[in-house]
Structure 1
Amino acid sequence: MDSTDAKERQKPNLAELKERVCAFLDAVSERSEEDVKREFGHVHERARELVQRKLAMTGSKSETRDLLGELVFSRLRGGLRNFLRAEDGSDDLKAAEWVMGSLLSMSAISEFSVAIDRAILEMSAPREYSFAGMADFISIEEVMQLLGSGRHVGCLSLEKPDNRIDIYLNTGRIAFLDPHRMIRRMLPGAGSMDYREISEEVLRKSEAEQRETGTPLLLALEKAGVFHELDIRNVISELGSEVFHEFLLDPDAVFFSYRRLPELPEFAQEHDLRFGVTGLLLEGNKKLDDWRSMCRIFPDKHEPITPVDDMYAKIGDLNLGVTEIKLLAHINGENDAQQISEAMGLPLFETYQHLVRLARAGAVSAPGNDALPEVSMSVEESMKLAFEALDANDDSLAVSSALDRVLGGGDSDGLFGDVSDEEPAEEEDDDMSLGFLGKRN
């Protein structure tokens, strides 16, 4: 009888305990995503520093133990302290708190293991490339000329914080361009009022497919039906070159690496672009000149673009296309050039071109209005400067010799040794390169 009464008295306490435990679990599981990311970032950074010191043989023996103590045992000690300080050691609520503290410690161990695994992979992964460096030491143009002058098959990867592009080369020619992030969602059509837009959902799915299966982004978009009725080689050439030229506009943060390959991947062989490095670099130098000129008019891409009071009267005589009409809707005195580019799905370079045209018409205020009359460099003058820049680094004999010594192959007897019996590399067709350049401009 007494035991039955005791059980009946415990029922409310157990129900209350269950409610409290469930509420505690809900509070833990409902932490905001931002808080979880911040906490994991802290753990990841501590683990990264620990691995760096271990790899450099500068860490002490107790560092790993100390980090584990900070992340795990401090929680265990806190739970045990609360349990022992309870007035009644057999108190149900205190016992539950201790159990929950142990469970959370297991969660902390799991978080730490994920962080340490990621740090180890990042810091000690094998470097599978033939050579690598930063573009602030050797320019991207020089690297491209170095590889374009050789007879090697490989992949040059350019990386910066927000994008990456893989350039597949085959005996001095560009075979395929594989950007990892699209800088253009709005595709121009045949007429000034024609265009097609890549939906963000399709773009996200294609980017996920690239990460999971290694399918090039542009081919994944083609499979999704984005480029129907278009020549996929022209699409790869146009959009891939556009991403490559963006790397030239801000080269200081670019990291490059080159991997020599026994043969091109199947997708690069199937869609071999077969155009020369020279044409791509000439067009890039022209864009770089234009970019520097436009930056004199709009020096800060994060400064809001301000319309003039009579903007629509100013643009009355202009023959505007659909892109410029859509762009005008974003000019409200609050959006800057970067925000307008992202909202419209246009490269920043093209957004600047439209803004300069509107500034010339007096429709928008430009901090560098005084430079507007001077920004009129002709195509011929830009081409001349581009050729001079390329010729300055065009010691083909030294380049080929250096590349052969680094990657192997070529003249094994040295610079003045016996000539190999192999057929000479096919010379670059100037008409092809300049034709490609003229087509795009």
Structure 2
Amino acid sequence: MAGELVLVIDDSPTITKVVQLVLTKAGYQVATAVDGEAGLEAVRAQRPHMILLDFVMPRMNGYQFCRELVADVKLRDIPVVLMSAKGDQVGERFVKVMGIVDYITKPFSPEAITAVVQHTIGKYTAGREDEPSLVTGEDLSATDDADRTHARSGAMDKLRMQITDVVSGRIAALFALAHATREPDGAIATDATAVADAMRTALDDPSLLKMLTALDLGLFGENTPGLRGDLRVVPLAEVLQLLDVQEQSGVLTVERSGARVDIYFRRGRVDQATAEGVPDEFLLGRFVTDAELMNRADFDAFLDSRETASGTRLIGAQLVKLGYLAEADLKSCLTRQSSELIYEILRWRHGRFRFVAGLELPPSVIDAALGLDVEAVLMEGYRRVDEWHLIERAIDNFDVVFLRNEDSVAQMGRGRLTREELAVLEVVNGKNSVKDIIRKSRMGSFEVSKMLYRLLSIKLVRRRVLPVAV
């Protein structure tokens, strides 16, 4: 295997992202198309080593695509593997009628899709010449110290010149004004205090921000390899995928509007994610009580006693030390907490990220050693992002208030609802906003929004509409 090209044709963004992530990590190149027509164009332009094909798609479905493919003598030898939720029913017929080489049933695991691709390429494309290998992680992280020193010196010279120009211009204006004002009663001060005030005014926030924005701040950090960027330019999922594929170790920090999440990597796996400035739903206590390892009253009492106790032991370690949790229980809660934090920041459309390689991990992270698989986290994260897009059509902000449809609830019966649905339904009263429901139910925002969306879909709740004054 040497970076063979796999074309994925599927109209589901989740499927294409997941397959691309899995196969890229396995060493393949991946191209994507959203339907059969786009797929045919990609096949003719790139001639992939194999094709992963969805059955149900707009414009041109899988059957129509295969018919067009086999009609072209230059393309008919490219192996096709069908991806379908009706794998056994549809796949066998495609093998017989259209000559596809294999099929895989959705949903599939990363191991299953990788095995199918490896088998297909190994069997049907063994004669192709190997393509050049990809650049290694060591190549990408190699740094020329001389170039870095030169760049830092140039950046400091530029900053120095900008400050000099701004300050000298303001001081010159001060003295020009003082010279022009000759009346004793209207004299303009030009002493040290006046000059300092003029400098301070010249270096206001917009001026400093403009200077700093033009700088590459990475030049002034520690001489450790890493990367940084803007989430509006580089999506977080692509950053996580890169760190996973290159098996990087270090700390990825993601920040937005006062919230900060640190993701600790060890050889491409996530050992833990921690956060500051995030809602209470992401604190460890929620996951402890959700797992019914402690009830809320006992946990609150523990927190109260902890405030009066001395020492800086972390909450999780202290719960284990006092016998409230077993080590395995704590690890399970930390796994959920870390995963939920990553799911949340995958939704961030703006913010900054930076990764520093080779930093020594904190003792608490070393003890946690969760070893979370990035592929698995991203697969669930992509699924949630897709669900959020659906939910946000009905719940566009957390200030929305819902009412219970009591007649519909009575007709259906509460016994047919899940415990989570009941917990949310009981807090819907025409007064509580979605934000209030999240706080009072002590559930996560995703879970509450999903439950509300379900209740809304089966008409057990409705959106409160305020009367319009005329």
Q: TM-score, normalised by structure 1?
A: 0.49
Higher relative helix content: 1
Q: TM-score, normalised by structure 2?
A: 0.46
